[in-house]
Structure formats: C-alpha cells, structure tokens
C-alpha cells in the first residue's frame, strides 16, 4: 500500500511539472503568435506572464485557493493592460481553468467552489471586452485575422472553458465523496456485523453455561446429604462448564485484542472452535438425575468450520432452552449428515415451565438460532411436538454460502 501511494504521488508530481511547463510555454508563445494581432511588447514580458500563470500550478494541490487567486489576478491584469493575443485570450485563461478545476475538486465547501467560479467569470467579463475595445486595432490587421475578433466570441469561449472544467472538478469531487461515504458505511456495517457475531457467541456461551451451572448447583444443594455422589457429579459438571465457558470467552475476546506486528499474542493459547465432535461432552455434562440426554451423531465428518460451529451452537441453545424453560425428564438429540445438508433435531418430552412475565432477554435464543441458520442458507422449524414437549428441527447445507466478489 505504501509503495502504491508513493508511486501515485510521483505520478502527480510529474503531471504537475509537465502541466506547469506546458502552460508557461503555451501562454508565452500565444502572446507572440496569436490568430490576431500579437502582443507588441518585449518578449521577456510574454515569458514573465507565461511563468506567472503557469508555474504556480505546481502548488495547486497544496494551496488551491491561493494559487487560483494569484493566477486569476495575473491573467486579468495582463489582459486588462493589453498583454494578450487577440483571438486566443482563452489560452491566457487556460491555467485559470486548471486552477479552478483543482479548487472545485479538492474543496468540500460548495460555497467556496461557487465563489471561485464566479470570481473567474467576473474577471473575464471585465477584462476581455476592454482588451478588444482598447488594445485591438480596427483595420486591416483585424480584418485579416485567423479568428473572429469579437469580444463576445472570445468572452463566450473563456466562459465555456471555465464552466466546463469547473463542473468536471465538482463531478470528480462528488464521485470521490461517494466512494469515501460508501467505504465508511461498509466499515460501519462490518463493525456492526462483527459486534452482532460476538454478541451472539457470548449469548450462546453465557446463556448455556449459566443455565447449566444454576441447574447443577440446585441439584448439588438438594442432594448433598442424601446422595453425595450425585452432588459431587453436579459440582464436577459446574467446574467443567465454567472452565469451558471461560476458555471460549477468552478466545472470543482475544480476537478483539490488538497485537502488534511481530509480537506474540499475550495470555493463554486460543482454543479451537467447538463443533459437532464436542456434542457428546455437551450431552454428558447436561445428563443427570433431573434430565436424561440421548445423542445420535452420524455423518458429520468433513464439515466446514462455520457449519460445524453452527451445528454445535444450535444444539447448545436448544438444550439451554430445555434446561431453562421445560420440565422435561428426557431429551433426544439427532445430528445426521446427509448428502448435501446436516439434519439437526432436538426434542424433549416435558411441559413448559411457567416463567414470569416480562422476563428480560426472553426469545433471544430462538432469534439467534434463526439468524445463524439463515446466514448458512438453512431452515429452522420450532414448535410443540405431537406427543408433547417441544421440538427444534434445522437443516443446514454442508457447504458455506458463496459471497459475491
């Protein structure tokens, strides 16, 4: 990127130098050999005027408005004093048009750009008619001219030149502003999308982990005296769940921590993304005296990381809902890889637990599942099962969706 910017800067410098030299030579040459009567004064004056309107173009990108003001002043003064080529005054005003283009292109303030154009037109409107009335001889020289020696024709040519070039500068400015705004909006949308992804991941991790910990803590407290072995198992599940949750949270938040070039990332090593291979451990952690979880897992080898993570999160969220919102004693999970899709089904057998109205965060789990599955081009069906309980069915394509390039 730095090399590209450096090459672009060099091209601009070369262009500005060439433009300044050509403008200087063209103005000086036209004063000595115009279509009509030439400037009768010494040659050094012609070259001085040419240099005064041409060489400042080297600085037009850095000081666009001062450069335009200077060039307009020199061109208008020279024309007013008769230092001009009859029939080709538009050449003297050509550097003015280039400077006006730069102002129109670089300034963000429309009022400044319009004022610059108006000043150029006023200067031409005042000086061009006077040049023809005072300094152009009426006689044989004018009659045998190569171009019409009317101030109206000359002023019209200068005005059209200024307006067209200025308008081109505003068009280029508008297109650049549109591209910058598009890039800004794209960056904002990308940040918002990343925040949504992180929020969804944190919701899935914390929602599942906290629900499981709360349930197991209740079981441990209730069975601590009567069935200490079940209480110890519940405490072990709480320990494993909290450790796994902390590892996943560190992995997600580690993405947000900037790492300087060449520096090793701080903190513990990042853990791999969970997937279908982690479902047996998930089902084992949830199984206990209060809930029996059966898992049937087939055909999930070779899934892409995104689809594999989606399968895990859907099962995790569905199980979280069973723990939080159902009084089920049994939950069956089926994850089956088909030819071009993955079938995921979670069904429990219990009635819904009565929840207090206005419970904060209610319904976010299903919304998150729908968004995650929609991102992979899959389908989701949720609702009561025919034999009681609740059922979640998802179909996810095995391949990642293609994004437009």
Q: What is the CATH number of the domain that holds 306?
A: 3.30.565.10
Check: CB of residue 147 under 8 Å from CB of residue 88. Answer: yes
Cα–Cα distance for residue pair 353/126, rounded to 1 Å: 88
Whether residues 157 and 29 share a domain: the answer is yes
Cα–Cα distance for residue pair 25/194, rounded to 1 Å: 57
Q: Which residue has the tokens 């437009």?
A: 404
pLDDT of res. 354? 56
What is the band of 333 on the pLDDT scale with cuts at 50, 70, 90? very high
Q: What's the DSSP call for residue 287? A: -
What is the band of 138 on the pLDDT scale with cuts at 50, 70, 90? low
Cα–Cα distance for residue pair 278/21, rounded to 1 Å: 72
Q: Which is more confident, 95 or 261?
A: 95
Whether 336 has a pLDDT exceeding 70, the answer reads yes
Whether residues 170 and 305 share a domain: the answer is no
Instruction: Count how many domains the chain has.
Output: 2
How far from 54 is each of 95, 209, 310, CA to CA, in Å? 6, 73, 65
What is the band of 140 on the pLDDT scale with cuts at 50, 70, 90? very low
Whether residues 170 and 300 share a domain: the answer is no
Cα–Cα distance for residue pair 328/288, rounded to 1 Å: 12
Is 202 within the bounds of a domain?
A: no
Domain with 384 in it: 275-353+361-405
pLDDT of res. 120? 92
Whether residues 58 and 169 share a domain: the answer is yes
Domain termination site, one of 124, 150, 185: 185
For 18-55, write each residue's pLDDT tens digit.
Answer: 888 998 888 888 888 887 778 788 888 889 988 999 89
Whether residues 179 and 297 share a domain: the answer is no
How far from 23 is each of 77, 91, 124, CA to CA, in Å? 17, 9, 18
What is the band of 163 on the pLDDT scale with cuts at 50, 70, 90? very high
In this prediction the pTM is 0.56
Task: Return the sign of the alpha-carbon dihedral for residues 167, 172, 178, 181.
Answer: negative
Rounded mean pLDDT, 252-258: 61
* Measured distance between the N- and C-terminal CA atoms of the chain, rounded to whole angstroms: 21
């Amino acid at each position: 990127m730095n090399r590209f910017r450096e090459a672009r800067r060099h091209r601009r410098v070369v262009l500005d130098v060439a433009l300044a030299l050509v403008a200087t030579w063209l103005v000086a040459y036209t004063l000595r050999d115009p279509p009509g009567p030439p400037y009768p004064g010494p040659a050094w004056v012609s070259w001085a005027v040419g240099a005064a309107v041409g060489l400042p173009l080297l600085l037009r990108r850095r000081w666009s408005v001062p450069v335009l003001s200077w060039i307009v002043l020199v061109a208008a003064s020279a024309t007013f004093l008769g230092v001009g080529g009859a029939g080709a005054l538009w050449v003297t005003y050509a550097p003015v048009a280039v400077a006006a283009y730069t102002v129109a292109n670089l300034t963000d303030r429309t009022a400044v750009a319009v004022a610059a154009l108006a000043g150029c037109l006023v200067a031409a409107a005042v000086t061009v008619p006077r040049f023809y009335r005072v300094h152009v001889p009426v006689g044989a020289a004018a009659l045998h001219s190569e171009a019409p020696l009317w101030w109206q024709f000359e002023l019209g040519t200068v005005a059209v030149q200024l307006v067209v070039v200025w308008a081109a500068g505003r068009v280029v400015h508008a297109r650049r502003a549109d591209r910058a705004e598009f890039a800004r909006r794209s960056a904002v949308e990308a940040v918002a999308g990343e925040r949504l992804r992180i929020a969804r991941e944190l919701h899935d991790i914390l929602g599942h982990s906290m629900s499981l910990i709360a349930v197991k803590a209740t079981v441990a407290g209730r069975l601590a005296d009567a069935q200490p072995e079940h209480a110890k198992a519940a405490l072990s599940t709480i320990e494993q769940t909290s450790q796994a949750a902390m590892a996943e949270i560190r992995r997600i938040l580690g993405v947000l921590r900037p790492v300087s070039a060449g520096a090793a990332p701080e903190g513990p090593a990042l853990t791999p993304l969970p997937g279908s291979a982690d479902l047996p451990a998930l089902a084992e952690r949830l199984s206990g005296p209060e809930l029996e979880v059966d898992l049937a897992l087939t055909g999930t080898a070779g899934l892409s990381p995104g689809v594999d993570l989606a399968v895990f999160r859907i099962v995790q969220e569905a199980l979280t809902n069973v723990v939080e919102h159902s009084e089920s004693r049994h939950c069956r999970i089926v994850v089956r890889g088909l030819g071009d899709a993955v079938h995921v089904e979670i069904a429990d057998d219990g009635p819904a637990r009565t929840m207090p109205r206005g419970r904060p965060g209610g319904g976010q789990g299903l919304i998150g599942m729908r968004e995650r599955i929609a991102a992979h081009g899959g389908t989701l069906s949720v609702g009561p099962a025919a034999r009681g309980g609740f059922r979640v069915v998802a179909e996810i394509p095995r391949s990642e969706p293609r994004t437009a390039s």
